[in-house]
Structure 1
Amino acid sequence: MALTLNSAAELLARHHLLREVIHDGSWTRGASGIDGADAPFASVTYDTRTVAEGSLLVCKGRFRPEFLDGCDDKGLAAYVAETDLSEHSHAPGLIVDDARKALSLLAAEFYGRPQDELTVIGITGTKGKTTTAYFTQAVLNAHSGGRCALFSSVDNCLDGHTYFESDLTTPESLDAFRMMREAVSNGMRYLVMEVSSQAYKVHRVYGLTFDVGAFLNISPDHISPIEHPTLEDYLYCKRRITANSRTLVLNARAAHADLIREDAAAAGVPVRDFALLDAAPAGAGDASEGPSAVAWPADVSHDSYLMRLDGRDLGRYRLHLVGDFNYENALAAVTIAHAAGVGADEIETLHAMEPTRVSGRMERYRDEASDTDVIVDYAHNYTSVKALLDFVDARYGARRPHITLVAGSAGNKAYDRRREIVEAAQDRIARFVFTAEDTDTEPYADICRDMLSFVTNPSVATATILDRVEAITDALADARSHAERTDVVLIIGKGHERWIKDLNRHVPYEGDDHVVERLLNA
């Protein structure tokens, strides 16, 4: 059904968002008396630069009234705003309590509610969202013959096999529903998407119910004046996936898991949980007791894991992506896929994620000539840096490696990360190289200076090299100049990304992975 001024007003009223409709100096509770109220909108946009004949414009965020000037001449059909903007446009105005919520509802309707034609899976957590999303897509692609779409912080995929770089962890609602419609048109049956805390904070997924929602973990992150003011607010936003899911998959070992179970009980949402164990569980496995899915190391090397789902043994898993935390992500993916309809007896399908790679996540490179291993990873907070160093200790600890960490931190936000990255690493590495990561307006030098100020261990060496390519070059040159020792160089925070954010612009960047490949092959 086409979206019209009349149906838009009725939709917003039904969700208790509409305050009034303003047109030609008249204020009404609906739009039925306005000429053209049943004419379909040609487009929906939140950018005045794209307004064209028949457009519905949603004035959200930092919208300034003067942005509307001239839109009538472009053919603006109506606008949605949180205040009367009739001094700047003669088009009808739908005045609402929250323009972002309105945008999500209107976008879904404009694109014909594509979510109703997909099994939609939402994954949230502080770490592991991207890897779990890729693993889940691999399983569901194997189950459905390649008909699973993906929205992730790395790439989006709308046809099951073609990937293009994404801009946001969770797309803006208008973009998300547009891409969902394209995915449906491409024959997709499933959609796996990462759901960030900001997606709930700014209502990018407002009104969207996930067929399967997944809560992986929670630890302090994204705490800043422009993100979440407190850990409580951060957790609350992530918890909102529970009441907006038909089934919840929960990491039984996650912090605050009991609170999330309470959320699920209050909302009447069934929970399927999973747990990564330190050793094999006792007994043959009873599907009626304990977590729905468990995994444990196959041997002391931790290079492979055994898994059990609903009491059925799934056999040995050996992932391309190394690290215990990635086996936890794989276990989450198995549980999610099962909740989405993959049978526990589809053993081969449930192993489909084993060869999966995720750009910029635990990418390892070897320089045999200097006994140097390089790991490029997206780690960017205490939890992910600790997990990375735990892996290094387990894999290389017996060789007592010289560990160099090349790291920066985000500017203008998440200020605690600067201290946390240092605290997670300083007693476990030999050298820091502080460098540029991403920033809006805060100078890279100030960020690195902050990080340096948190170094309290006198035994760890430090260097600040603002140019990121030069910083990586220095770390590798130092490692390669000491052929007598084992070196591990960790390069974190950017991964595969082909840009660095500077002064609110995405400046082209080679990518940590490409820099390492080029330098090692030189």
Structure 2
Amino acid sequence: MTLTLNSAAAVLSEHNLLREIINGDSWQLDTAHIDGTDTPFTNLTYDTRTVAPNTLLVCKGRFRPEFLDGTEERGLAAYVAESDLSSHTTKPGLIVNDARKALSLLAAAFYDHPERDLTVIGITGTKGKTTTAYFTQSILNTYSAGRCALFSSVDNCLDGHTYAESDLTTPESLDSFRMMRQAVDNGMKYLVMEVSSQAYKVNRVYGLTFDVAAFLNISPDHISPIEHPTLEDYLYCKRQIIANSRTLVLGSECRHIGLLREDAAMHQVPVSEFGMLDDMPRDGADDQTCAWPADGTHRAYRMRLDGNDLGEFSLDLDGDFNYKNALAAIAIAHAAGVPADCEALRALEHTKVPGRMMQYRDERTSTIAIVDYAHNYDSVVKLLDYVSTRYGERNPRITLVAGSAGNKAIDRREGIVKAAQDRISRFVFTAEDTDTEPYEDICRDMADHVTNSHVASDTIIDRTQAIASALHEAQEDKDRTDVVLVIGKGHERWIKDLNRHVPYEGDDCVVERLLQ
């Protein structure tokens, strides 16, 4: 489909978004008597800085009318907005009820609906989205000879093998459809993407139907004035993926699972559930995806899918909780068409996720460092549970290097401290991503939540120096096992400060360099 003013108006009218078209002094409901209505747009953007000849501009968010000044000279052909902006341009305006919804629909049309040429898989949940997405892509890549794309909070992959660091968990709609078009042009047949609650909150995936949707779990997170005001709102936004899917894969131990099942029934979406054996419903359990320990260890699990014994699975990615993510990926891939007896399911055994459970050792001093993206109460609890299971017999001294996001998710700060303070020896609070809130204030807020007088607490704003301090102290006693947990940034090569991405070496690189 070639996007023109005429076809853009038709798309917006079809979805009941178009209020009127403003063309000079004329206000109308169609494009009649407007010059160039069938001339294809060569550029679609929401950023006035990228306006080029024959551009359709979508004015969303905190758009100010004066941003339009000078855009006609650079090629503005028409605009889409929620209000009349004709005082700043003579070009036609498509006035809509919701500019973000309009952007998503127009982006799909502009890039000729690439989603129709892909099996699109959306994964949501509070924990495990990224790992599950990587596992799922690994299976589908093997099954399809390398033709599975990935959109994740860590990396995007548009050709099955080249990964580029991403900025958002779920890209802005225009960027999503542009990347989908690239993926299709690269021969991709599948797309696995993480779907955040914000993606539905701000309509980044409006109009997109997932062939397979996965709802892993839900726990309090992203509660703040600029994200979700309440847990109910957070869950409501995540639930929207169910109404916008053709089949649902659901974690059997998910909180509020009854409500999620009702959503699926209301929208006539078939459901398959997965879970560890003890989590599964007893009735009909043989028809579900199950797993259980094979030999009493934490390194191999036996898995079953639709009554078929898949055998033992052993992951290169450490952490027992990752077996649940692997189980989810198997269920998702099966729902996407991979047979239960396909060898491709085993591809996840050797899948690594950048920044997830990356372990480094200094054998000279018995120091172990783990880099992980853990960033809230639940993920820190699971990380410490892993340390206790894996290294508890050594009675290790544990140090946690952590910051927390600025300007949002304020509850994470107390959650991280609460999860760790009775299980570790030392906190080192440091910089993490922020918009305008000072790092010092975030660290002070976290330190104020420390109530255990037996745990040390230090603040070192420079993140590299904070990691160095933790590792140096760990290496001082060669006869003791020390575990240093560095959480929050993983392999990201930037830290967000004052709304800018400031280059940063990356937690993984810092730890590896210092231990060498």
TM tier relative to shorter chain: over 0.9
Match of 2:315 in 1: 319
Question: Which residue does 1:420 correspond to in 2?
Answer: 415
The structure 1 residue matched to 2:332, chosen from 329, 336, 349, is 336
Aligned to 1:409: 404
Counterpart AA for 2:290 = V
Number of the residue aligned with 2:448: 453
Instruction: State the match for 2:512 in structure 1.
Output: 517
For 2:285 and 2:455, the matched residues in 1 are separated by: 47
2:348 and 2:132 map into 1 onto residues whose CA distance is 10
Cα displacement string for residues 195-215 of structure 1 (whole angstroms, at most 9, x for unaligned residues): 000000000000000000000
DSSP-derived class of the 1:370 partner: coil
Structure 2 letter corresponding to 1:336:
I
Letter in 2 for 1:5: L
Deviations 1:113-145 (A, max 9, x none): 000000000000111111100000000011100
What are the residue-to-residue correspondences of 1:274-285 with 2, within 5 Å? 274-277=274-277
In structure 1, C-alpha distance between the alignment counterparts of 2:279 and 2:302, rounded to whole Å: 10
What is the CA-CA distance between 1:279 and the residue it aligns to? 9.6
Instruction: Give the match for residue 387 of structure 1.
Output: 382
Q: Aligned equivalents of 1:479 and 1:35: distance in 2?
A: 72
The DSSP-based 3-state class of the residue aligned with 1:376 is strand
TM alignment of 1:78-227, pairs within 5 A: 78-227=78-227
Distance 1:99 1:310 in 2: 44
Mapped partners of 2:302, 2:24: distance in 1 = 69
Question: 1:164 Cα deviation (Å)?
Answer: 0.6
Alignment partner of 1:357 is 2:343:
no
TM-score (norm 2): 0.98
Residues in 2 aligned to 1:100 and 1:259: alpha-carbon distance in whole angstroms: 28
Q: What secondary structure sits across from 1:354 in the alignment?
A: helix
CA contact (8 A) 2:357 2:371 kept: yes
Q: Whole-Å Cα distance in 1 between the matches of residues 74 and 433 of structure 2?
A: 37
Q: Which of 370, 374, 377 is the aligned partner of 2:372?
A: 377
Offset at residue 325 of structure 1 (A): 1.3
The corresponding residue for 1:13 is 13
Quick one: structure 1 residues 256 and 73, their matched pair in 2 at CA, closer, same or farther if it must change by over 3 Å?
same
Asked whether the equivalents of residues 280 and 297 of structure 1 are also in contact (C-alpha less than 8 Å), the reply is no
> Could you give the per-residue CA deviations for residues 189-238 of structure 1, whole angstroms, max 9, x where no partner exists?
00000000000000000000000000011111111111111111111101
User: What one-letter code is carried by the residue in structure 2 that aligns with 1:296?
Assistant: W
Equivalent residues of 1:294, 1:308 under 8 A apart: yes
- Kept in 1, the 8 Å contact 2:253–2:279? The answer is no
Which amino acid counterpart does residue 339 of structure 1 have in structure 2? Answer: A
- The corresponding residue for 2:362 is 367
Asked whether the equivalents of residues 326 and 348 of structure 2 are also in contact (C-alpha less than 8 Å), the reply is yes
Q: Which ranges of structure 1 fall in alignment gaps of 5 or more residues?
A: none
The 1-side partners of 2:204 and 2:449 are apart by: 36
Instruction: Look up the equivalent residue of 1:306 and give its one-letter code.
Output: R
Distance 1:328 1:168 in 2: 24
Number of corresponding residues: 516
**Counterparts of 1:278 and 1:214 in 2: how far apart (Å)?**
20
- Cα shift at 1:361: 0.3
1:242/1:269 contact within 8 Å kept: yes
Structure 2 unaligned spans of 5+: none
User: 2:226 is aligned with what amino acid?
Assistant: I
Q: Note the 1:295-314 alignment, pairs <5 A.
A: 295-314=291-310
Between the aligned residues of both structures, percent identity stands at 72
Q: Quick one: distance in 2 between partners of 1:368 and 1:301?
A: 24
Counterparts in 2 of 1:92 and 1:494: CA distance versus 1, 3 Å: same
What's the secondary structure of 1:121's corresponding residue? strand
Amino acid in structure 1 at the alignment position of 2:467 = I
Amino acid at match of 1:188: M
Preserved CA contact (<8 Å) 2:3 2:41: yes
How many Å separate the matches in 1 of 2:278 and 2:492? 34
The 2-side partners of 1:397 and 1:278 are apart by 24
Question: Partners of 1:423 and 1:493 in 2: how far apart?
Answer: 16
More off after superposition, 29-38 vs 137-146: 29-38
Change (3 A) 1:280 1:317: farther
Contact 1:146–1:160, Cα closer than 8 Å, also in 2: yes
Q: Tell me the secondary structure at the aligned position of residue 472 of structure 2.
A: helix
Contact 2:101 2:203 in 1 (8 A): yes
SS of the residue aligned with 2:350? coil
- Give the 3-state SS of the residue equivalent to 2:495 in structure 1: strand
Distance 1:296 1:153, change over 3 A: same
2:415 counterpart letter in structure 1: E
The aligned amino acid for 1:54 is N
Report what 1:475 is aligned to.
470
Structure 1's 452 and 106: CA in aligned 2 closer, same or farther, altered over 3 A?
same
Partner of 2:257: 257
Q: Counterpart of 1:440 in structure 2: which amino acid?
A: D
Q: CA RMSD in A?
A: 1.3
Q: For residues 49 and 452 of structure 1, what CA distance do their matches in structure 2 show?
A: 42
Give the drift of 1:170. Answer: 0.4
Post-superposition Cα deviations, 1:303-338, rounded to whole Å, max 9, x if no partner, equal 111100000011111111111211010000000000
